[in-house]
A and B are shown apart, each in its own frame.
Chain A
Amino acid sequence: MPDLVTLTVDDRQVEVPKGTGLVEAAQAAAIEIPVFCYEPRLGPPVGACRMCLVEIEGMPKLQAGCTLTAQDGMVVRTAATSASAAEGQESTLEFILVNHPLDCPVCDKGGECPLQDLTFRYGPGSTRMSFSKLTFDKPIPVSPLIALDRERCILCYRCTRFSEDVAEDGLLIARNRGAQSEIATFEDEPYRSPFSGNVIELCPVGALTSTLYRFEARPWDIQNVPTVCTGCSVGCNVSATIREGKVKRILSRNHPEIDRGWLCDKGRFTYPHLRATDRITTPLRRGPKGLEEITWDGALDSAEAMLREAEGGIVTALSGSETSEIAYALGRLLREGLGAHSAVLPEATSDALDAFRLPLSAIAEAELLVVVGDDPVVERAPIVDLWIKEAGRRGADVVTCSPTGTVQTQPGGGAELCRELSEPRNRLGRRLRRAARAVLIWSGPGGGGGARIAELAHDLGFDGKPGCGAFHLPATPNARGAAEAWSVAADQDEIDVDHVKLLVVSGDDAAAAPSVRSLAERADAVIVMTMFHELAGGWADLILPATAALERDGTTMNLEGRIQRLRRAVLSPCPDELTWISKLAERFDVDISPHAAGVFAKLAERLFRDLSLDEIGLHAPLPPRHAYETPAAATTPAPTPLPTPTDVHFVGELRLQRYQPLFSGPAVDRVPELSFQRPPREVELSAADANRRGIASGDAVLVRSNGTSVELRASVNRKLVDGVARVAAEHAADLHPSVEVLKS
């Protein structure tokens, strides 16, 4: 029971927990203290805009309410009951409007604008300002994604505080002083941060707008559908804004334990891929003249024939981005209807971690954080990076063990490091054992890390400590849900297929994966479910059009093991997966509902202890911890992980570290506005390795391995461990794990 304080706001008594901000305390008494700059998610209040002026008994001057915390016995008067507070509020609004253009009719924010609302409620009816207002070129491109209409800016500094204090990228700044102050980036360089889009939502006026949404809709002709982002394994809660059956923008829908209302740009800005020009809407079959469009009936006939023919030799490549229902339905069809089968997933998953489950928000409260793995957290699970940063700001000790970490490891060194940490004499390990709030995070590569980090947590004695936990950041959004749904779909064991008669590729991520392609080369026939022609056009025998998450109902399980609900925001241009899987399954005497809710009910029966969709609600709860079981004891058959590059033996001079950037993949590829977010064509080298080769940042270099070479620009990374050449996967082409880098 927290301490309570009682205060009076506008003659109303209200009791709130000690430490509550005055704005929230007033809210508890159903009284609004209007604010602009105040936004607790951005850190301590700054008291800049002066919108929240209130009168406090015993204080001579008006006070910025947002900067105060509720005190016992405090007597507060807002504009509603205090003439001087009302005058204060009116003053601030008058000053704010002195330079504001009042161009609401042509402003995207119009209709959902705090400034418009507050002006309507408290503002002066006319202006006393007779001088010219400040004007600027407009709009200024802050990046290909964000436009700035500088004259609308009220200098609340929310955007720059986000950049400095939340994303910690230091790229969006305030320039100049006094009346000349303005929001800017360096030298017209774009605001290139994976989190940039959040400033659009933070801006309380129409100064920062989305270039993709600009002039696309008015607030009175849109609907917002609450769903969940599937851009990565975090599962941020979002609203999809719909107008005339099309997705117009994605907004955050604050889940305080998962995303706190932040989104990354991948989640926010990839929706235009739904209407990509190369999207497939009808099935295609390879005939004598290449791929030809066929009817759905024809497609199902073909699929049935191919499946029957391959009985006993079918491999399914899952993407890990299926809804759990799709994975379950596929599992039922292939495992129950066709007896013989096996599946592969990009990475292994492990439910052993459920013993150390915490909400993501607990990361911010940790005192000690140890991140293990080659991949930067931001590339795998961007919002987790924000939680880690917050922990750092709150004073946590953040130890990253990676090729660029505070503890430098060679690529693939994560497993070895975990073993060291579990040794009784390891110093960091000892601190982990002692801490009351310690969190372990495994950030790739390879999914074995899930089980490994769970084992480490167990060894460190996290079992009985509610403040300690462990996370694995899977490479795909629903790896766990898909794997588990697949596993419980039937009772049969997985079989090792030695001759692949048929490869079933489920989804774009699988279709785009090089390892799946090489599997396809060994298969007699291939069925691919994909959204885009380009991905499978060259090698599929049958292509079935796929849908996107925004077109799906169903559930997905995020990296915490939390089951969340997807809601169909727009209709897909083709029948969705469940519709045709259920039809196809009928031909094999397997009964599957064509509706997500029906499939979920069955799935929940077997997997989630009869959880109902209503229990999931709008903000899904976190399931309780399970007892720890050693991974060996877990017997459910699971899809096999595909090999990762670091598993391959390394011999040469420099070890190639290939990483999968956040901004990659088939959906991102189809949004030109996102291309500036992609990694530059460069190879990162440590200062020593660069020096030894006479290479400086910016030099053109040749990265060479046995037989192949790529020309890239060099970038010296002072944090990178020696002996490594780091290249984004999309620029690494066919390079082998051992490379040499030479000046070209």
Chain B
Amino acid sequence: MPARPEVVFAGTNGGALDRVEDYEAAGGFRALAKARAMAPDDVIAELEVSGLRGRGGAFFPTGRKWAFVPKPEQLAKPHYLVVNADESEPGTFKDREIILRVPFRFLEGCLIAAYAIQSQHVFVYIRGEYEREFEVLRDALEAMRKRDLLGEITVVLHRGAGAYICGEETALLESLEGRRGQPRTKPPFPAIAGLYAAPTAVNNVESITTVTSVLELGAAEYATLGVENSTGTRVFSLSGDVVTPGNYELPHGITLRELIYDVGGGVPGGRDLKAIIPGGSSTAILTASEIDTPLDFDSLVKAGSSIGSAGVVVIDDRCCMVQLGIRVSQFYEHESCGKCTPCRVGTRWLTQILQKIEDGRSSQADLDLLLSVCDRILGKCLCPLGDSDAIAVASYVDRFRDEFQAHIETGRCPLGGDSSLEGILAPSAQHERHLHEVVHA
């Protein structure tokens, strides 16, 4: 069993620290006091030392991001902290548990971050489907307000309404400003011109919660956890074909094997591991033979994938990889915001080609076309959403080409209707039913 130092969930003993008294008794709000006794720039420096990097997916150093935010003297506009609680990346469900179990540590982090970037306004953009999480935060805020912990700072909980793209930071800002959640071109970056065109830091819930811990532990101490370039712990979301799925806080650098077998109890029913999605559905898939890959930024890049949002999906041998491709592609097609051409058109086209392969109506040319369309999406979109589909689908072909080939050559799925994803009804297939379609010659 790997060591399991708890930072984000420290003091919860497997439960929740969701009462303000308990949190305070457990040493809560000390980090905030500590931060407020420092100069804002020193808080930022502390974060830089800690090596903390963003937990939302892009892994950008948190301290450096804050350092980009101009000082109020340099830019006399209100400054904003926007927290990304839109968690919608398939395979990821950690922010939700953080909010439920350590709401005060999270909110404390918000106040520290706001202090560091000299902002008076915090917006927490929480995905609309998170009802209870919203209520927990609302009550926690109220409790803090009663204790006068907020000071001059206003914290607004802003609920999304069902759109994955609003997790992308600029789309989130558009949505928060009351528009369609479509990403903006960068530059300008949010640090300079973000919410209402004012300097804005956008950070993930886990990143912000970890900020509290960094201040509490001290940056140097925090940096001893994890591995080089990926310091500290990470809340891994483990799901799919695994005995005990759930969120596990572990230091960066533990291997997939340790996570899946030692922590997660392995694949149920003694079945064979077939594939692993290591960082949410937008990351490239790994095969069972890559089970000893460590879960940290550099190792996963070396393996041709990415740590992403640390949502690990375990897939056993019952799953057809073409069907997986269809289902993942349907997701991106459904969630494409529709702004840029390659993503809007390409994601739908990928689904169609994959469906044709699954249906056994395809030829070699279709597989070539599939990869070519992936290529033509990749690197040409306005934001990474389209890329995600292309990366995922291309990786399925790359790692499981035999299976794709078998579909083409035999005209049927090798799993013969027994795939665990057989017949799965995606929302996009539901509303395809409403579309007018005619056959085009």
Contact = CB atoms under 8 A, between A and B. Distances in A.
Q: Do chains A and B touch in the complex (CB under 8 A)?
A: yes
Interface of A: 45-51, 53, 61-62, 64, 67, 87-88, 91-92, 94-96, 98-99, 128-129, 131-137, 154-155, 157, 174, 176-181
B202 interface: no
Interface string B303-342: 0000000000000000000000000000001111111111
A176 B341 contact: no
A136 B436 contact: yes
Nearest to B355: A131
Contacts of B440: 131-133, 135
A174 B376 contact: no
Contacts of B340: 47-50
Given A48-B382, A62-B379, A96-B341, 15 more contacts: A48-B341, A50-B340, A50-B381, A61-B379, A92-B341, A95-B341, A98-B345, A131-B440, A134-B436, A135-B438, A155-B344, A157-B339, A177-B163, A177-B338, A181-B338
A91 B437 CA distance: 24
Contacts of A128: 369, 372
Interface in B382-439: 382, 431, 435-439
B36 interface: no
Best-surrounded residue of A94, A157, A178, A180 (most CB of chain B within 10 A): A178
A62 B380 CA distance: 7
B380 A179 contact: no
Contacts of A181: 338, 344
B338 A88 contact: no
Contact of B348 (A67, A87, A179): A179
Interface in B112-170: 163
A598 B65 CA distance: 71
Contacts of B346: 95
B349 A129 contact: yes
A419 B335 CA distance: 59
B347 interface: yes
30 contacts: A46-B185, A50-B380, A67-B185, A87-B376, A88-B380, A91-B342, A91-B377, A91-B380, A92-B341, A94-B376, A95-B376, A128-B369, A129-B349, A132-B437, A132-B440, A134-B436, A135-B440, A137-B436, A155-B338, A155-B341, A174-B180, A174-B338, A177-B163, A178-B333, A178-B334, A178-B336, A178-B337, A178-B348, A179-B336, A179-B347
A132 B379 contact: no
Nearest to B437: A132
B244 interface: no
Contacts of A49: 340-341
Interface string B332-370: 011111111110111111001000000000000000010
A84 to B, nearest CB: 9
A135 B437 contact: yes
Given A53-B380, A62-B379, A174-B180, A95 B345 contact: yes
10 tightest A-B CB contacts, nearest first? A181-B338, A91-B376, A178-B336, A47-B185, A95-B345, A179-B348, A67-B185, A178-B338, A61-B379, A133-B440
A726 to B, nearest CB: 30
Q: What is the interface of chain A mostly: helix, strand, loop, or mixed?
A: loop
Given A154-B341, A155-B341, A92 B380 contact: yes
Given A49-B340, A50-B381, A95-B346, A135 B376 contact: no
A61 B382 CA distance: 11
A410 B435 CA distance: 54
B439 A96 contact: no
A95 B342 contact: yes
Contacts of A136: 436
Contacts of A64: 185, 382
A176 B380 CA distance: 23
A211 B267 CA distance: 64
Contacts of B352: 131
Contacts of A48: 339-341, 382
B344 A179 contact: yes
Nearest to A69: B187
B378 to A, nearest CB: 9
A128 B349 CA distance: 11
Contacts of B379: 61-62
A181 B346 CA distance: 14
Nearest to B163: A177
Nearest to A176: B338
Contacts of A96: 341, 345
A134 to B, nearest CB: 7
A135 to B, nearest CB: 5
Contacts of A67: 185
Contacts of A137: 436
A50 B435 CA distance: 26
Contacts of A132: 437-440
Best-surrounded residue of A67, A88, A129, A177 (most CB of chain B within 10 A): A177
Nearest to B343: A178
A67 B187 CA distance: 9
B6 to A, nearest CB: 38
A132 B438 CA distance: 6
Contacts of B372: 128
Best-surrounded residue of B340, B431, B438 (most CB of chain A within 10 A): B340
B338 A179 contact: yes
Given A131-B352, A132-B437, A177 B337 contact: yes
Nearest to B352: A131
Contacts of A62: 379-380
Nearest to B188: A44
Contact of A134 (B341, B376, B437): B437
Nearest to A66: B185
Nearest to A92: B341
